[in-house]
């Protein structure tokens, strides 16, 4: 297999890991968004309990995909990793602190007994769950709009992530995470015979689905002005995926309206996947938009070949283990309400 082919195989693994993180880790972040808006300690207790019980078995396991993406980028595309890390270190640092604060707050909230401490840890968990996906989206926007040049610290450390496309990416990341979480929670409520909670999250999923769709449509205008290369790719090479995202998004709203909570999990995930992969297709073959291609950025064949073999073997081991872990999610015993 040629070096170019190996580079594209590595890219496929990388994009698969990013997709998994968006669909699984993103839903965890979105659950924190709804935790923030659940209401007072009394009124929101049932919602917060369902959120905690739903994400409890898997909330840290989902970060394996983020680590996976970082390691694969570092190993397979070292120059790209160096450019991103040295230019976008401000939002990357914010993401790191957000992940740590979110995890520790979630754990401590379930351990403390004092109401004031539960509220404080709950607020930290919820706010970090919103801030973290925002900065992840801002990082994506900086890369997609071509604001990360090749080399060490050659990009502007502020405007590389504080720009219209990055703000759009951050907003969409928060909205998509909240949408996925609400969709996933509807069925979790239903299977635990919590019909009223299911209706609450159904309504929130419908609202956030519409809001996310409107943001995406208006975002096209932002990309046209701020990231014309990406806009051109989305409206030409990746147009079928853009259309697919609209179709699956519309179908998801219909299924939510009809209360088909299992089916809508699949269509909502497909809608989000279509958007993510539309970005990838629109930017391809560049790994840094307008800067360097996948083949040119790849590590030597001597590195890529063992990396591909390792990823293939690791996938065979990891994926069944994660499926087993997620199967435990439906067997979590009911616990007392948390604030």
- CA–CA separation, 151 vs 213, rounded Å? 36
Tokens coding 67 = 């680590």
Using CB atoms within 10 Å of the CB of residue 116, give its burial: 0 to 12 exposed, 13 to 18 middle, 19+ buried.
exposed
Per-residue pLDDT band at 59 (split at 50, 70, 90)? low
Tokens coding 295 = 């083949």
CA-to-CA dists, residue 331 to 188, 198, 317, 324, angstroms: 11, 18, 23, 12
Average pLDDT over every residue of 283-305: 96
pLDDT of 97 above 70: yes
Q: What is Dmax (Cα atoms) for the chain?
A: 61
pLDDT tens string 83-94? 999 999 999 999
Tell me which residue of 338, 298, 274, 284 sits closest to 52, measured CA to CA: 338
- How many other CB atoms sit within 10 Å of the CB of residue 302? 9
- CA–CA separation, 204 vs 181, rounded Å? 10
Check residue 61 and report its DSSP letter.
G
pLDDT of 71 above 60: yes
Residue 240 pLDDT: 98
Tokens coding 322 = 């994660």
- CA–CA separation, 142 vs 203, rounded Å? 33
- CA–CA separation, 303 vs 299, rounded Å? 6
- 198 φ, ψ to 5°? -60, -40
- How many other CB atoms sit within 10 Å of the CB of residue 303? 16
Does residue 46 contact residue 197 with C-beta atoms inside 8 Å? yes
- CA–CA separation, 228 vs 250, rounded Å? 27
Check residue 289 and report its DSSP letter.
T
Average pLDDT over every residue of 253-268: 97
Share of the chain above pLDDT 90, in %: 78
Tokens coding 63 = 């970060």
58 versus 232: the higher-pLDDT residue is: 232
pLDDT of 334 above 50: no
Tokens coding 230 = 């990406």
DSSP string, 9-40: HHHHHHHHHHHHIIIIIHHHHHHHHHHHTS-S
pLDDT of 190 above 90: yes
Tokens coding 69 = 């993406």
- CA–CA separation, 212 vs 28, rounded Å? 17
Tokens coding 139 = 């990082």
Does residue 11 contact residue 38 with C-beta atoms inside 8 Å? no
Residue 329 pLDDT: 60
Average pLDDT over every residue of 188-196: 93
The secondary structure element, H or E, covering residue 172 is helix 164-191
Does residue 206 contact residue 257 with C-beta atoms inside 8 Å? yes
pLDDT of 45 above 60: yes
Does residue 181 contact residue 35 with C-beta atoms inside 8 Å? no
Using CB atoms within 10 Å of the CB of residue 334, give its burial: 0 to 12 exposed, 13 to 18 middle, 19+ buried.
exposed
Average pLDDT over every residue of 318-332: 74
């Amino acid at each position: 297999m040629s070096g170019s082919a190996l580079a594209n195989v590595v890219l496929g693994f990388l994009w698969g890991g990013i997709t998994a993180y968006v669909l699984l880790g993103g839903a965890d972040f979105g659950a924190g968004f709804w935790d923030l808006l659940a209401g007072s300690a009394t009124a929101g207790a049932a919602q917060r309990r369902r959120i905690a019980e739903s994400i409890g078995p898997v909330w840290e396991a989902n970060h394996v995909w983020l680590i996976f993406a970082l390691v694969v980028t570092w190993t397979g595309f070292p120059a790209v990793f160096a450019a991103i890390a040295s230019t976008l270190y401000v939002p990357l640092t914010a993401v790191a602190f957000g992940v740590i604060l979110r995890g520790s707050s979630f754990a401590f909230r379930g351990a403390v007994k004092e109401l004031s401490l539960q509220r404080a840890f709950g607020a930290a968990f919820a706010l970090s769950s919103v801030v973290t996906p925002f900065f992840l989206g801002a990082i994506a926007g900086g890369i997609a709009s071509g604001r990360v040049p090749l080399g060490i610290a050659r990009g502007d450390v502020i405007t590389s992530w504080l720009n219209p496309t990055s703000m759009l990416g951050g907003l969409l990341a928060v909205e998509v995470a909240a949408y996925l979480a609400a969709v996933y929670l509807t069925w979790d409520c239903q299977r635990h015979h919590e019909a009223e909670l299911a209706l609450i999250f159904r309504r929130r999923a419908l609202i956030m689905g519409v809001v996310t769709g409107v943001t995406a449509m208006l975002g096209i205008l932002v990309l046209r002005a701020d990231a014309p290369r990406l806009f051109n790719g989305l409206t030409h090479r990746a147009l079928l995926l853009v259309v697919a995202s609209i179709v699956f998004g519309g179908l998801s709203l219909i299924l939510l309206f009809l209360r088909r909570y299992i089916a809508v999990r699949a269509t909502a995930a497909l809608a989000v996947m279509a958007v993510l992969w539309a970005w990838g297709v629109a930017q391809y073959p560049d790994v840094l938009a307008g800067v360097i291609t996948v083949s040119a950025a790849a590590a030597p064949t001597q590195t890529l070949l063992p990396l591909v073999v390792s990823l293939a073997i690791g996938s065979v081991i990891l994926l069944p283990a994660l499926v087993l872990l997620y199967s435990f999610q439906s067997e979590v015993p009911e616990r007392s309400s948390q604030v």
